[in-house]
Amino acid sequence: MSLGVVGRAFTDPLTVCLDTYEVLLPEIVVDELEDIASYDDAHGCGAQAVLDQAGGFSVQSVSLDATFPLDDGENAAVTLANDIDAAMLLCDEFNQLGLIHASLANTRLVTTPTLLSVFVRNGQLDTDVAMSSLDAISEARSWDSNQYVDHARSLAT
Amino acid sequence: MNRTDALADVLGEDWTDILLTALREYLQEATHNDALVQEIAAAYYDDEVTFDQVKSLVGAEEAANLRVLKQQLDEGHIEDLAEL
């Protein structure tokens, strides 16, 4: 949802993400996006922007691992990542990252600010675009006072 | 200080006990304060405090979250991700 907030005004990070990787979403996460998309705010727009690019990702139903003390969406994402031995899991649930990280077998965890700096490093996104994207995402997600996000800015330059 | 003396008399406690209790309560409250947790996080990302110090301040669960976020800032980690 974070990347969807930015919209498609330029070579946007959502498109870069979907073009670069084979993206797989658990069905329950798509359900969550559909719920969020019904709201008329930045989160709603972000979720809708992702759903609008449904051709760019696959959806898979996942049976939840009841032993994970995580919300259904995160639970499904971790379970799916482990099932298919995914290279990366994109997750911005900062308050659950320790647990999510520990639950992943071989998959590397990535958060959106870091993913943006990966795109900059690979020449797929201009620094300016990465910065303005991060500003928009930070505002939508109330990350303004988050020190990780603040430190991540210096990585994308 | 007069008030501390008075409170010590009332509670029949030592001055030191009162100060220690106050300090303990302050630390407990402070580590649930988001702004202070972010200060602790920043010091940790900048290598000014160790993981063990962070853990003693914010608890194991939050410290584990901050450890993952610190890793997200690691140049080597980003290089690895860039190759995927």
CB atoms closer than 10 angstroms to residue B43: 16
Among A85, A96, A99, A114, which would you mutate to test the B interface (most chain B Cβ atoms within 10 Å of its Cβ)?
A114
User: The complex's ipTM?
Assistant: 0.88
DSSP string, A9-67: SSS-HHHHHHHHS-EEEEHHHHHHHHHHHTSSSHHHHHHHHHHHTGGGEEEE-----TT
Interface of A with B in 90-149 (CB under 8 A): 94-102, 108-111, 113-115, 117-118, 121-122, 145-148
Residue A8 has pLDDT above 70, yes or no: no
Query: Bridge partners of A59?
Result: A25
Q: Which long-range contacts (CB under 8 A, 24 or more apart) does A123-128 make?
A: A124/A16, A124/A20, A125/A11, A125/A13, A125/A16, A126/A11, A127/A156, A127/A157
Q: Which member of A97, A145, A155 has the closest CB to residue B68? A: A97
Residue A9 has pLDDT above 50, yes or no: no
By CA distance, what is B78's nearest residue in A?
A118
C-alpha to C-alpha distance for B67 and B62, rounded to whole angstroms:
9
Subunit contact B81:A108, Cβ cutoff 8 A = yes
- Comparing A5-19, A135-149, B51-65, the range with the smallest average pLDDT is A5-19
Q: How far is CA A33 from CA A38, A107, B32, B70, B78, in A?
A: 9, 23, 31, 28, 28
Interval A131-143 mean pLDDT: 94
Subunit contact B38:A145, Cβ cutoff 8 A = yes
Q: Which residues of A touch B34 (CB under 8 A)?
A: 145
Of the candidates B66, B28, B36, B61, which has an alpha carbon nearest to the alpha carbon of residue B50? B66
DSSP A93: -
Percent of chain A with pLDDT over 70: 96
pLDDT tens across A70-128, in order? 899 999 999 999 999 999 999 999 999 999 999 999 999 999 999 999 999 999 999 99
